[in-house]
């Protein structure tokens, strides 16, 4: 959901308008995972054919850490219709109650508490993909960090993710959204190493969490170099590249790209059902 001045093709502009204009879908279940008003979640339950609980997917929304989750509700409902219990948490966001450290406090709390011990795929789109990749790398944080944990998601699916905050800042994406997240240029050196997936991976080379990075080859929102640079560092992450696919079609219910997302989720969760 970039607001930065940029030149994009009509293909990309039409895709963005089409997907972001979808009518929100209200969830049948709502809950809280903390005391702050933004620490809430929407839940779309699903069941297997035999009535047993469906595999769980936690979905983190994009919007450059600023926007709310409503644009992702159609996709969350779509995942539930295809057999995945889907939870979509809210969290404190930049430009309001969030940014560093509150946004990361909320993601850590949501990931640690909402699944209640169940295996789950942590998925995220765009900046939500950044947060998903960061959450999977929390065991690489200093042991005295409040976000350090050894209890990680069962798998991660990052959809067109922002993987590199240094590059995001350099390119000024969405009117310097990453600088806003971190609190300004003067705090980047101190804060970025604790919340940047690429930086956390340097040296370790892996999070130890099965990770798929899925993106469109025609993405004009996130520079393609971010995907390549992350995959070059994370030695066992799996790339899935969809030809002729842009940034937003990945979260468009019923699109060919969304069917690819379903296929990857089914593969990541298959062993849980056996």
pLDDT tens track of the chain, all 274 residues? 434 456 889 999 999 999 999 999 999 999 999 999 999 999 999 988 888 889 999 999 999 999 999 999 999 999 999 999 999 999 999 988 999 999 999 999 999 999 999 999 999 999 999 999 999 999 999 999 999 999 999 999 999 999 999 999 999 999 999 999 999 999 999 999 999 999 999 999 999 999 999 999 999 999 999 999 999 999 999 999 999 999 999 999 999 999 999 999 999 999 776 5
pLDDT score for 1: 40
Architecture of domain 10-273: 3-Layer(aba) Sandwich (3.40)
pLDDT score for 161: 98
Q: What is the pTM of this model?
A: 0.96
pLDDT score for 2: 38
CA 112/CA 243 separation, integer angstroms: 35
The dihedral through the CA atoms of 125, 129, 130, 131 has a sign that is positive
pLDDT score for 274: 58
- Tell me the two tokens of residue 42: 């929407």
Domain locations in the chain? Answer: 10-273
Q: What is the largest CA-CA distance in the chain?
A: 55
Residue among 110, 198, 209, 87 nearest 157 (CA): 209
CA 271/CA 19 separation, integer angstroms: 32
Long-range contacts of 258-262 (CB under 8 A, 24+ apart): 258/75, 258/78, 260/214, 261/79, 261/157, 261/159, 261/214, 262/79, 262/82
pLDDT score for 158: 98
Q: Are 134 and 200 in contact (CB under 8 A)?
A: yes
> What is the β-pairing status of strands 120-125 and 155-159?
parallel
pLDDT score for 91: 98
Q: Where are the beta strands (DSSP E) in the chain?
A: 29-32, 40-44, 56-60, 85-89, 120-125, 155-159, 211-216, 238-242
- Tell me the two tokens of residue 83: 């057999």
């Amino acid at each position: 959901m970039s607001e930065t001045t940029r030149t994009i093709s009509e293909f990309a502009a039409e895709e963005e308008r089409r997907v972001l204009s979808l009518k929100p879908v209200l969830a049948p279940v709502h809950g809280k995972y903390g005391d702050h008003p933004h620490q809430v979640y929407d839940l779309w339950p699903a069941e297997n054919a035999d009535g047993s609980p469906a595999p769980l997917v936690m979905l983190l929304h994009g919007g450059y850490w600023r926007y709310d989750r409503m644009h992702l509700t159609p996709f969350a409902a779509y995942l539930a219709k295809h057999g995945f219990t889907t939870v979509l948490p809210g969290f404190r966001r930049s430009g309001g109650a969030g940014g560093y450290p509150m946004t990361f406090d909320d993601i850590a709390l949501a990931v640690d508490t909402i699944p209640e011990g169940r295996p789950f795929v942590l998925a995220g789109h765009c900046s939500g993909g950044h947060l998903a990749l960061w959450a999977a790398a929390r065991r690489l944080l200093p042991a005295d960090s409040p976000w350090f944990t050894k209890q990680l998601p069962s798998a991660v699916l990052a959809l067109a993710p922002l993987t590199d905050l240094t590059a995001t800042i350099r390119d000024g994406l969405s009117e310097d959204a990453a600088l806003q997240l971190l609190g300004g240029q003067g705090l980047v050196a101190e804060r970025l190493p604790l919340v940047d997936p690429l930086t956390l991976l340097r040296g370790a080379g892996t999070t130890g969490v099965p990770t798929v990075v899925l993106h469109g080859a025609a993405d004009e929102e996130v520079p393609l170099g971010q995907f390549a640079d992350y995959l070059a560092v994370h030695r066992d992450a799996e790339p899935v590249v969809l030809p002729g696919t842009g940034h937003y079609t990945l979260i468009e219910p019923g699109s060919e790209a969304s069917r690819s997302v379903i296929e990857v989720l089914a593969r990541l969760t298959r062993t849980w059902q056996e």
